[in-house]
Chains A and B, each alone.
Chain A
């Protein structure tokens, strides 16, 4: 079934298989940062931001993804020009095996887009659907705090310049 959706800002025409999930479709299209971890919406390895909210792409039938706006971690930054969250994850030791990392970062981005100064509790809440077995989460939460702090400082500097 042919659908048209927007992936990382790019309008994409794709053939959606009838037993495919959005996760399957994205991986087939080459967005390999979206991972299969459980296929039941519990682990968050397949997290994408869909229409502004982070969701389990393994729970979305691909045929229903038409018209959606989907963002994967490939869209956030590159190794040369990383997103502040990617930078902070690397620095704070929030990346161990890295399998959960794209999903974690997307959940964190969706949070920071809404709330520039989240409390630790809000960070934990926002990441509660992204399982990680390596880190014990402590350094991940620290990374989000670090990124939030830096993004705020950057914004302040930018605003100062404009003034």
Chain B
């Protein structure tokens, strides 16, 4: 960690105050939430740190069947909150639970994890699968869909002074099922691959589906072909197999030193299939066996 030119640390108590500091170009200020990504970041030009931990952004609220999560909420608070556990089959809780270690989860914030995705980040894939809406406050405050937010490295979206303040995980549609699975070498290893799926169904009819794959590239990605193969169809094992094969083919994979790209594709196929078997075909699999 090196902040050779740091001159000031400020602790704004309101978002407006934070935005004002961050948008003042002369101050060369950067926001700091959990601070975990700092050891990976280049910080030579930074003259001011804007600590966000006094902003009133540490909350988890239920909203119309969805969840409203403040940006400085700790990942461990997601794990602990009852509302998160009961949201969408616990998909967000499961992803949060698998973020790094307990010690890491006590530092990493939801906002930081969403804005600064690494190939190992767990929350972005769930945000993408659930169609999360990310609230940005700045000179021009706005709300961006996760899909657009992750079309490019999110920081490119953020102009001077912009701050991600909140994320809405919308209410899942009626009759929906959701699941998040992470495949890693050890229990708290960086994932080799993770898959988040949200679907709504009536019996075997798959009405709507979103498949998000993380860990294949830095940004989470949807698998439109696989989704199209299932959307509006009567699900069957054959269709599930087909869809998972499509997902494996269509994802972009960047090099991972630990395994071949082909292995990641195979993993994608297996994981998408297994999740679909579980939440679409109702096949029972003991939970600990999943991945």
Contact = CB atoms under 8 A, between A and B. Distances in A.
Direct A–B contact present (CB less than 8 angstroms): yes
Interface in A29-71: 39-42, 44, 47, 50, 53-56, 58-61, 63-64, 66-67
Given A21-B1, A53-B76, A47 B103 contact: yes
Interface of B: 1-6, 8-9, 11, 32, 34-36, 38-39, 49, 51, 74, 76, 100-104, 106-107, 187-188
Interface in A1-48: 1, 18-21, 39-42, 44, 47
Nearest to B53: A64
A46 to B, nearest CB: 9
Contact of A61 (B38, B102, B188): B38
Nearest to A127: B102
B1 A54 contact: no
B102 A125 contact: yes
28 contacts: A18-B3, A19-B2, A20-B1, A41-B39, A41-B100, A42-B101, A44-B101, A44-B103, A50-B106, A53-B74, A55-B103, A56-B104, A59-B35, A59-B107, A61-B35, A61-B38, A63-B3, A63-B9, A64-B9, A64-B32, A64-B35, A64-B51, A66-B9, A107-B102, A126-B102, A128-B188, A129-B101, A129-B104
Q: Specify which of B1, B4, B11, B103 lies most central, judged by the most chain A CB atoms within 10 Å of its CB.
A: B103
Contacts, number: 83
A105 B166 CA distance: 35
Given A41-B39, A64-B51, A129-B100, A19 B1 contact: yes
A126 B188 CA distance: 12
A21 B76 CA distance: 22
A72 interface: no
A128 B187 contact: yes
Classify chain A's interface size.
20 to 34
B49 A61 contact: yes
Instruction: Kindly list the 7 A-B residue pairs having the minimum CB-CB distance in the complex, ordered from nearest.
Output: A129-B101, A129-B103, A53-B106, A19-B2, A18-B6, A55-B106, A18-B3
Contact of A63 (B49, B100, B107, B187): B49
A61 B104 contact: no
Interface of A: 1, 18-21, 39-42, 44, 47, 50, 53-56, 58-61, 63-64, 66-67, 107, 125-130
Contact of B39 (A50, A54, A59): A59
Contacts of B104: 41, 56, 59, 129
A82 to B, nearest CB: 23
A70 B6 CA distance: 23
Given A56-B107, A63-B49, A19 B100 contact: no
A129 B188 contact: yes
A128 B98 CA distance: 11
B103 A61 contact: no
B108 to A, nearest CB: 9
Given A61-B38, A63-B9, A64-B51, A56 B4 contact: no
A138 B107 CA distance: 27
A54 B6 contact: no
B102 A67 contact: no
Contacts of A53: 74, 76, 106
